[in-house]
Structures are given as C-alpha cells and as structure tokens.
Structure 1
Amino acid sequence: MASQKILVIDDSRVIRRMVKDMLPANVEIVEAKDGVEGLDKIRNGHPNLIMLDFLLPKKSGWEVYQEVQKDPKLRFIPLMLMSGRKEEVTEKLPEPFQYFAFVEKPFEKKQLVGAIKDAMQKAQKKKKEQPQGSPAAAAAAPAQDTAGGGGGGASTAEVEALKKQVAQMQTEINGLKKQMGQLVKFIKQKLK
C-alpha cells in the first residue's frame, strides 16, 4: 500500500507520466487532466501533496489554487505549482512564494524531489503561522473563518499586527515594482 498520495493536476500526459516515473513505487500518484477533475480529487481524495499546473482546461490552476485556499480543510495540504513560464505564476502570485513550492517545467528528478520537500516544509510553516483567524487565512476566506462563531473577533493587538504586516508587504511590493520598472527599462535599452 502506498504511504504517500500525490495528486498531479496537469493536462499534459507526458508530465503526469514523468512524475510517476521519477517517484518511488511506494508513492501513489493520482492524476487529473483538468482543473475541475483536479478540484474534485482534492476534495474527495485527501492527497498528501498537490502538484498543480498553472494553465489548465475547464478551471485554471489559479482558480483551483484560490478554491483550495478558501477551504479551511484543504488550505494546509502541501502545494507545488508548476508552469513552463514562471511569469504566468508571478503575474497572479508575487514572489517570494511563501506557502507553496514552485517548479518550472520541464524539470528533472532532483528538482522535483526538492520542490516536494519545499512544499512540505512550507505547508508545515503555514500551519504553525496561521491558526484559524490569521491574516492569510482571513484574506483567503474572510467569510469562512467568522461564520463558525467559534471565537470572538480579533483583538486590537492582532489588528495592529495585521496593519503592520500589510504596510510592510506594501513597502516590499513597491520596491519590487520599482525593480521591475528598472528591469524593463534595461531590457528595452538592450533591445534597441
């Protein structure tokens, strides 16, 4: 019996086969060829890890990612995003990728194993940092965390901590935007 179950959601049969061939026989590989099938297998299959292609038919990897993050039962499953073009991912989810691993396709066995380990570590970190009413959990699913009525509202200290975190993230985003502008300017100069 398999000790681990990895769900590979990718419309490429080659990628799904490649993952199966690269991992040990005691790892059960479950496959899905589009986002709708993948989301169904996430909800019903209880995988230990999700490998998610970012561009998928029927429901994109971005949409699947958002659905997973909204569900308190699913958001802590280790997640590894895959794409042939990293820019596709960074358009929606800016780096550094804090709570999921990323691997660029095509990948080799060493990269795959490294990304799986990274995804597992980041999921553990996310679990420790984000108990129920945390900032990322609240941002990902505001209605879900308050609907249960289990805890009271956030304390003033928590709100202030969140405000500081948002301000710090905005500063980082502004710095990244500036760097991106400089990079685009540099590339345009080189292309002339």
Structure 2
Amino acid sequence: MKKVLVVEDDLVQQKHICTVLASCGVEVVAANDGKQGLEKAKTENPDLIFMDIVMPEMDGYSACRQITSDEATKHIPVVIVSSKNEEADKVWAQLQGATAMVPKPFTDAELMAQISALT
C-alpha cells in the first residue's frame, strides 16, 4: 500500500489520522469533504480511502457510493471512520460499498489494522 486518501472535515481529526497513517510509511492525501474526496479519489488514485460520514457539501455515504460504483475508482477500498456507530449505520455503509467501519473515538491501532488488513 502506497497512498491513502483521508476524507475528514474536522481538521484536528484529519491531522491525527494523517499522522498515524504516515507513520505506517504511506503517502497520505487529505480532503475536507465528500465532494473533494470524490475528486481526489479520481485524480490521486489512492490504494485506500478513510471516509468520515457527516461532512458538508457531500456526506461520506454519498461519496462512498459514487466511488464504489464508478469504473475508475470502484477498485479502491473505502473504510468509514465515524461516530455514527449503530448497527444500521454499519449496514448502510456496507450497502454503499464500504469495506469496513472504524468507530470514533478510535485508537491508532484500529487505523493501522485497516492498513494491514487491506495489504
């Protein structure tokens, strides 16, 4: 795994996730909302995407659905990282094409485990 896209509107969370992932030796690209995430998924062609759900412009569910249904990006696994952690949220994330879900608050180990699981 060489490149990971982090789509998170909370800049503190975004910076933390980016720092943890960079410590794994991957290149990290960041986007501030679902719309930017969708654009960067196409232009950056990351190996993995960590996606928040509640964001301005376009939520993570919509962005995930578009990424996983587009021929150019459907090969990219999307891991939802969200405080929306009810069973219905997990099922809905899977229906949108998400590979996995990491609940907030998360540990650094939970993020790194996703990198390990998908390499």
TM class, shorter-length:
0.7 to 0.9
TM-score of the two chains, using structure 1 as the length reference: 0.54
Q: 1:69–1:75: 8 Å Cα contact kept in structure 2?
A: yes
Q: Is the 8 A contact 1:102 1:115 kept in 2?
A: no
- Which residue matches 1:11? 9
1:158-169 correspondence runs (5 A): none
**Residue 25 to residue 83, structure 1, CA distance change in 2 (3 Å):** closer
Distance 1:91 1:49 in 2: 20
Contact 1:85 1:104 (8 Å CA) reproduced: yes
Q: CA RMSD in A?
A: 2.4
1:7-61 CA-to-partner distances (Å, cap 9, x unmatched) read 0000011111111222327311111111111111001111111001011110111
Specify the SS of the correspondent of 1:86: coil
Task: Give the percent of matched residue pairs that are identical in Structure 1 and Structure 2.
Answer: 28
Gaps of 5+ in 1: 122-192
The 3-state SS of whatever aligns with 1:30 is strand
Q: TM-score, normalised by structure 2?
A: 0.84
Report the count of equivalent residues: 117
> 1:92 offset after TM fit, Å?
2.3
Secondary structure, aligned partner of 1:20 = helix
Structure 2 unaligned regions, length at least 5: none
Higher alpha-carbon Rg: 1
Structure with the higher strand share, 1 or 2: 2
The 1:8/1:84 distance shift into structure 2, 3 A limit, reads same
CA contact (8 A) 2:50 2:80 kept: yes
Greater fraction of residues in helix: 1
